[in-house]
């Protein structure tokens, strides 16, 4: 083994031994799925206490692993025996061509395990090896431990030493599949894909539910949602989405014809909660995820959010609740859904001219008495089209 990717994690290390073991195994499996999806060759993925190792000669393996939920950082490293001499030799090899005339350098060393030397000893000896190599090349060496132009990292473990020059920042969070399942109310807009991604980052397997408003929107809205899900699927190969596409246009017609028109959006959202709750029970999920952010649109004032939920026993999660639009957009760009979400779809034709912004807490109960809400919800769930969203 000459090359390996060091994979570091954060929160996993705080768990009890049994839970940590389970999380690490799940993380290893998810890393393997990501590497396989991206066509990156590797011979083995193994783990020691505090680290996961990918045996691969492809530096792209470090970038791929960094995109797996639960990974804090990765480094593509050269491997040597766990001796100062072996580490120093590798440091001088990496420094050759990496450090030029006029550039300063520093060795960053850390040690895990039982050794007869300290991290400081590693830094000094490896620095000496680099210094001598540079002098032999006619380069005047310069050490700067505060703000060096170049850094070489040495991680000495019990049986091996690892030397590298770069670290890829990971996505963080928890391994997908360790925190159960939740239903996510999905549209192709900016917010709901970001909310879904944020819950995936916390280890949640997501079951998307898309309420199709046809004839109040067109095929463009449906296509946009599917494409957003495909973009999200890139973050979780090995965990294909099971999408429930629920017919919702007939429900909107009932609201418009029989209820107060200014409350159409509130009834729409509340009915979505009811539909999602039935799917949640069916799938053995433990919550419902929304893209709500306080005050962003009419249905998301604090008054309306209370009215939408009043009388319902629904475990709702709003990961975007305290974020402003610019913060949400920044995440959407990062995760690859923004350009999809801003496609023109024509909007929803059921939105009233003057939507309610300050609904009374029990106003939805009163409105629902005007329609057979239970039958609407039951029909929507029974007629849902179940689609598998997987990577091509």
pLDDT in tens, 119-161: 999 999 999 999 999 999 999 999 999 999 999 999 999 889 9
How many residues does the structure list for the chain? Answer: 392
DSSP string, 244-296: EEEE-HHHHHHHHHHS-GGGHHHHHHHHHHHHHHHHHHHHT---EE----TTS
DSSP string, 199-232: HHHTTPEEEEEEEE-TTSS-HHHHHHHHHHHHHH
Q: Within this chain, do residues 334 and 206 fall inside the same structural domain, yes or no?
A: yes
Looking at the structure of the chain, the number of domains it has is 2
In a domain, 293, yes or no: yes
Q: Within this chain, do residues 107 and 200 fall inside the same structural domain, yes or no?
A: no
In a domain, 117, yes or no: yes
pLDDT range class, residue 298, cuts 50, 70, 90: confident
Exposure string over 282-319, b if 16+ CB within 10 A, otherwise e? ebebebbbbbbbeebebbbbeebbebbbeeeeeebbbb
pLDDT in tens, 68-85: 999 999 999 999 999 999
Taking the CA atoms of 205, 199, 214 and 190 in sequence, report the sign of the dihedral they define.
Answer: negative
pTM for this predicted structure = 0.93
What pLDDT shows up at residue 126? 97
For residues 52-58, give the mean pLDDT. 96
In a domain, 174, yes or no: no
In a domain, 176, yes or no: no
In a domain, 96, yes or no: yes
Q: Within this chain, do residues 98 and 202 fall inside the same structural domain, yes or no?
A: no
pLDDT above 60 for 1: no
Q: Within this chain, do residues 122 and 252 fall inside the same structural domain, yes or no?
A: no
Within 13 Å and on the Cβ side, how many CA atoms surround 378? 4
pLDDT in tens, 231-248: 999 999 999 999 999 999
Output the domain CATH number for residue 260.
Answer: 3.40.50.620
pLDDT in tens, 342-378: 999 888 888 988 888 888 889 999 999 999 999 999 9
Structural domain boundaries, residue 349: 181-389
> Rounded to whole angstroms, how far apart are CA atoms 205 and 228?
16
In a domain, 224, yes or no: yes
Q: Within this chain, do residues 125 and 87 fall inside the same structural domain, yes or no?
A: yes
- Residue pair 264/252 in contact (Cβ under 8 Å)? The answer is yes
């Amino acid at each position: 083994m000459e090359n390996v990717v060091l994979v570091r994690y954060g929160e996993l290390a705080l768990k009890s031994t049994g839970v940590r073991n389970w999380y690490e195994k799940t993380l290893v499996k998810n890393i393997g799925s990501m590497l396989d999806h991206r066509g990156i060759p590797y011979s083995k993925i193994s783990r020691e206490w505090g680290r996961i190792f990918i045996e691969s000669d492809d530096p792209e393996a470090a970038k791929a692993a960094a995109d797996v939920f639960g990974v804090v950082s990765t480094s593509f490293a050269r491997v040597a025996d766990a001796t100062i001499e072996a580490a120093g030799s590798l440091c001088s090899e990496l420094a050759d061509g990496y450090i030029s005339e006029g550039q300063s350098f520093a060795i960053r060393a850390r040690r895990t395990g039982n050794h007869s030397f300290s991290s400081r000893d590693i830094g000094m000896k490896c620095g000496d090896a680099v210094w001598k190599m540079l002098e032999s090349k006619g380069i005047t060496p310069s050490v700067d431990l505060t703000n060096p132009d170049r850094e070489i990292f040495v991680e000495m473990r019990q049986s091996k030493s690892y030397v590298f020059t770069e670290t890829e920042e990971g996505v963080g969070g928890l391994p997908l599949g360790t925190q159960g399942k939740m239903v996510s109310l999905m549209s192709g807009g900016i917010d709901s894909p970001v909310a879904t991604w944020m819950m995936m980052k916390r280890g949640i397997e997501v079951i998307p539910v898309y309420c199709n408003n046809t004839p109040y929107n067109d095929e463009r809205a449906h296509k946009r949602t599917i494409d957003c899900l495909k973009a999200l699927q890139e973050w979780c190969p090995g965990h294909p989405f099971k999408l429930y596409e629920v017919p919702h246009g007939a429900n909107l017609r009932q609201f418009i014809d029989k209820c107060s028109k200014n409350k159409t959006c509130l009834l729409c959202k509340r009915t979505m909660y009811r539909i999602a709750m039935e799917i949640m029970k069916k799938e053995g999920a433990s919550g419902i995820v929304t893209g709500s952010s306080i005050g962003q649109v009419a249905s998301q004032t604090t008054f309306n959010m209370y009215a939408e939920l009043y009388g319902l026993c629904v475990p709702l999660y709003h990961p975007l609740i305290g974020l402003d639009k610019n913060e949400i957009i920044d995440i959407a760009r990062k995760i690859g859904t923004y350009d999809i979400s801003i496609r023109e779809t024509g909007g929803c034709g059921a939105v009233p001219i003057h939507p309610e912004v300050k609904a009374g807490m029990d106003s939805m109960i009163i409105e629902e008495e005007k329609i057979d809400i239970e039958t609407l919800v039951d029909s929507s769930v029974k007629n849902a089209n179940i689609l598998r969203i997987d990577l091509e």
